[in-house]
Structure formats: structure tokens, C-alpha cells
A and B are shown apart, each in its own frame.
Chain A
Amino acid sequence: MGTTESKSPTGELSKWIAGRLLRALATCFLASILLFALVQALPGDAATNIAGKGGEELVAQTRAKMGLDQPAWQRYLTWLTGTFKGDFGTTLVTNKEVSSVIEVPIASTTAVAIIVMALLILITVPVAVWAGAKRKSKVSQALSATSVTLSAVPEFAVAIFVLAVLAHWTRLLPVLSTPGPGNSVWDNPICLVMPSLCLWLICSASIFRRIVALIDTYARAPFVREAELAGLSKPVVLLRHLLPSAIYGIGQLLAQTVPYLLGGAVVVETVTSFPGLGYTLVSSINQRESPTVMAIGLILMLTTVVAFTLADLLGKRQERIEAVV
């Protein structure tokens, strides 16, 4: 493989990455316009939310104070130019810096994402690799059936079952995964357990079956069969011949999980009352806090773009290996 890589022109790869990044930037720009338009289309706004009971005149005054009386395109341009300078603006109701409002949710979600990714790498991937190598065994088939079943269960159902068992019935964990006022998740790390466990189960169900299929495909490849026929033991064939080829495909699956862990965890965060990025995003939508929605939306879009580009890069590597295989 190393030889194949050294033969491939680095310039071609750089060109591919540059092209992908340019396309990604254009996609992000258009997606930000779409997100802004969607937020503007929501019924009511932050001014109506806080001054609605005071009558139309007070609402109009509040709206002017918040800058919501300006045309939408002008507000989008203000947000865009500010963002380019690294300034996400201020929240509409409390007038706090958006960057300081999202600081704690980013740290909390990142902490959970790191824990889940570690669990996936340390537990899910090895078990799935084993299950793929032993596809015909009863345990492997049972694990696959469990993952298919679990992947059809909505996230809120998984989170509620975990909450019911660990918090309500056995009382092993607190019902609310909140660190308490003024505390970060690291001050009260027990609040990381419930969301991490739920997300690990959900992500494991999603990637387990695909890793099993990937390993099974490679296990049938001629070079693996030849290694087995040459008398090498099964663990040696798995570790020295099969895994090095399948590792890029596994990496691709893990990279695709990152955007979900950062932005898609909203349901789990809501059920467990964990103050993460998704939870803050949904609260901001409900409160019509457009600057916060746009800031979190942009962070999630950029993360998605980077993760998918990385996944595609690994996918290209995988395609080259598959072509040889």
C-alpha cells in the first residue's frame, strides 16, 4: 500500500482536497442562507415572545431595539460580516455575547462526543470486527440482530429506556444530567454518563452492522483466503492481513458519526436534560434566538463538511484498496 501511495501524485490529492473545500465553502454559504430564511419564517419572534403581552406598540419598540425591524437580507449580511470577523453577535433577549452563551454547550457536547468515540473505538469496533470474522457463529448473529433491532428504535425511546432503568428503577444515576448552576460538566462528571451511554448505544447500533459487512467482504477476499491456506492462524490473518485493509472503511464510518455526535444528539440531550449543543439549539429555536441558532448551525455545518471530507478521503483510499483486492 505504501508503494501505491508513493506512486500517486501528491498534487492530484491536494487538488482534490482544494476542490472539495471550495465546494464545501459554497455549500456552507448557501446552507447558512437557507437556515437564516427558515428561522425568519418561524411564526413570531423574540420581541413577541418577551413583549407580546404589552401590546403592539411595545412589541414594535422591542423589535426596533433588537434590530429585528431591519430587512432580513440586511440582518443576514450583518451576521455574515460579523461571523467573518469571528463575532457571532449578541443574543436578542439577554444581550449577552453569543460566543459566551454557546461556550459551555460546546464544551459539554465535545466531552460527550470524545467519550462516545472512545467507547466506539475501544468496544464497538473490536466486537464488530470479531463478529465479522466469525459471521456464522450464534453470538455474532445474535449481536447483528440486536444491532438491527436497536437501529430501528427511535432515539428518544432508547434514551427513555436507559433513563427508566438507570435513573428511575435502579437509581444508579441522577434523572437530570445537568451539572448544576455555574458548574461545568467536569465539575460534576456523573452527568456525562447518561448521555454518553445513550449515544454510544445508538451509534453502536448504526455502525456495528456496517463494520460486520465490511469485515465479511474482506474475509472472502482472495488475499485473505491465501493467507489462511498458507497456514497462518486466524488471529494473525485478521490482524496482519484483513484489518490493515479494512481500517480505512472503519475510519470512514467513525468520521461520519462525528456530525451526529455534535448536532444530532439533540433528542438524547433533551430527554436527559443535558446542556449540550443540540439542546441549546432547540431551545434557541423555541425562543426565536436567531443569532444563537445561526452560530450553532454554522459550527455544525462546518463540522459536518470537515467530517464528510475526511470520510470521503478515507473512502478514496478504501476504493483504491478494494480495486486491488
Chain B
Amino acid sequence: MKRSTKILGVITLVIGGLTAIAPWFADRFGDPKRSIATSFDTGGPLGLGFDYLGRPIAPQLFEGGRALLLAALAAAVLSQLVGLGMGLWMAAKSIGSPALRFGLDVLLLIPAIVTSLIAFYLAGSNLYAVIPITAVLTLPFSSRYYQANAEPLLRSGFYQHALVAGDSVAVALVREVIPVLKRPILTDLGYSIIGAVYLMATVSFLGSAADTAGFLWPRMVSDNLAGIELNPWACLAPLLAIMALTVPLNLMVDSLGGDELE
């Protein structure tokens, strides 16, 4: 692994770790739910000012990332587990795989934002209900990716040898194929986390106009967009925070892909 990939990995982990522990320090910067100033006032804790209801931005910023990060991680892991299983299943041309591919193609055809927005409304105030929905929506992509990666391996000697030696298809896949797919799994997991943050943030951003539920950072962006000229930080601080989660991870995954090619 290249040195730059390792550095990016460390940056990603540090940002992820800080986002996860930040809510414990939120109350040091004020009450995120109490209005104490006029709308979009400047100054306040850390100089980030106040939101459209006059609540301080800094404690909201500290509080808002963990739920988004954990939900995205859960959705990505779930999607990878099911996607890997489905991809291997289809690569092995097992029973029902054409029907499964067809079903996934049907899902792929409906714009993801429409499906996820409807699912967001259906989930009501339960934020974590979007986890399985996000996982399902990324399945057509992850299953295709693993199918494409596994097909050449299934034609290789070591997999065939395991089958001839008496292993079942499932055992041969788990013992012989999955360990070889370690790097592609890591790469796709990274993209999957970015995709989940992206989708969940976007749905919360779009949905917040009609609902008060949603992840805090994207909702802050949406709610404070109108006051961008009065207090830009009310909108830009959560926006930069979301980018801080996705950009280093994307650079790391891209660098990891480069390592793989080399």
C-alpha cells in the first residue's frame, strides 16, 4: 500500500472518530435546541453564529454527524454483505440468479432519489428505517460489481479444484473466492459508505422541506440556506462537515484502486 493511501486512511479514520465522539462535547458550546439570538445572527460559540431560529450553530454541528455516519456505515456494511452474497450467487449461475438479476434491474430503473424520498416519508420520524432502504437501493450496483469480480475467479483452477474435492458451492465460495476478493471488498465498502452518506444527506436535504425529520447536518444546510447572506456559516459549516466525511474517504478509495492497478 502506498504511503499516500495510508495517510489518507489515517485522515479518514481521525475525521470519522471525531465525528463519532463530537456529540459528547456539544453541550460545552451551548444548548443546540434553545433560541438565544435573532435569526442568522453572527458571532456566538466558535464564531459560527446562529441559525434561522436563533439557535447556536456550533453545538448543532458537534451533535449532528454521528447519526449520519453510523447510519451510513450500517447501510454500507449491510449492502456489502447482501451484495457480495448476491454477486457470488449470480457469478456461480446458481438457481434463481436470472430472476434475481431481473428484479435488481427493475429496482435500478426507478430513480433512486424517488424511491428513497418515498421511503423517507414512509419511515416517518424513524431515521434508522432508511438504513435497509439505502442498502437495498445500492444492491443493484454492489451485486454487479462482485459478480464481475468473481466470474474470472470461478473459472480458475483453485475454485474448480475445491468443487472436485467435494466442497459445496457455498463452502468453495467462502473458503476460496472471498479471501481473494479482500481488496475489491474494501474498495467497494469505501464507495458504498460515500454513496450512503450522499443518499441519506440528499434525502434529508430534500425531505426537510416537507418534514422535520432527517439527519441534522443536511437539515441544517436546507433550513439555513435562505440566510446564507446574513450568516454563511449556518449553511456552509454543516456542508463542509459532510464533505469532510466523504472527500478524504473518496481520495483514499481512489488511491487504493490505483494501488490495485499497479
**A: which residues have CB within 8 A of B?**
23, 26-28, 30-31, 34-35, 38-39, 41-43, 145, 148-149, 151-157, 160-161, 163-164, 168, 209, 263-264, 266-267, 270-271, 278, 281-282, 285-286, 293, 297, 300-301, 304-305
Contacting residues, chain B, for A305 (C-beta < 8 A):
109
With A27-B105, A266-B206 given, is the CB distance from A285 to B117 under 8 Å?
Answer: yes
Q: Chain B's interface: helix, strand, loop or mixed, by majority?
A: helix
A129–B232 CA distance with the chains assembled, in angstroms: 38
Q: Is the CB of A152 within 8 A of B109?
A: no
Q: Is the CB of B202 within 8 A of A151?
A: no
Interface centre among B114, B115, B229, B251 (most CB of A within 10 A): B114
- Given contact pairs A28-B109, A152-B246, enumerate 5 new A-B contacts (beta carbons under 8 Å): A149-B247, A164-B236, A168-B228, A266-B206, A304-B109
Q: Is the CB of B117 within 8 A of A282?
A: yes
Tell me the nearest residue of chain B to A287, going by C-beta. Answer: B210
Interface status of B242 (Cβ within 8 A of chain A): yes
Distance (whole angstroms) from the CB of A285 to the closest CB of chain B: 6
Q: Is the CB of B250 within 8 A of A157?
A: no
Distance (whole angstroms) from the CB of A144 to the closest CB of chain B: 9
Contacting residues, chain B, for A157 (C-beta < 8 A):
221, 239, 242-243
Q: Chain A's interface: helix, strand, loop or mixed, by majority?
A: helix
Contacting residues, chain A, for B228 (C-beta < 8 A):
160, 163-164, 168
With A152-B249, A153-B247 given, is the CB distance from A34 to B205 under 8 Å?
Answer: no
Count, A-B residue pairs, CB within 8 A = 116
Contacting residues, chain A, for B105 (C-beta < 8 A):
27
With A168-B228, A285-B118 given, is the CB distance from A152 to B250 under 8 Å?
Answer: yes
Distance (whole angstroms) from the CB of B31 to the closest CB of chain A: 27
Q: Is the CB of B246 within 8 A of A154?
A: yes
Question: Can you list 17 residue pairs at the A/B interface with Cβ under 8 Å?
Answer: A28-B109, A42-B122, A148-B254, A149-B247, A152-B251, A153-B243, A154-B246, A156-B205, A157-B239, A157-B242, A160-B225, A161-B239, A164-B236, A168-B228, A209-B254, A267-B205, A281-B114
Interface status of B131 (Cβ within 8 A of chain A): no
Interface centre among B102, B109, B197 (most CB of A within 10 A): B109
A267–B111 CA distance with the chains assembled, in angstroms: 12
Q: Is the CB of A156 within 8 A of B114?
A: no
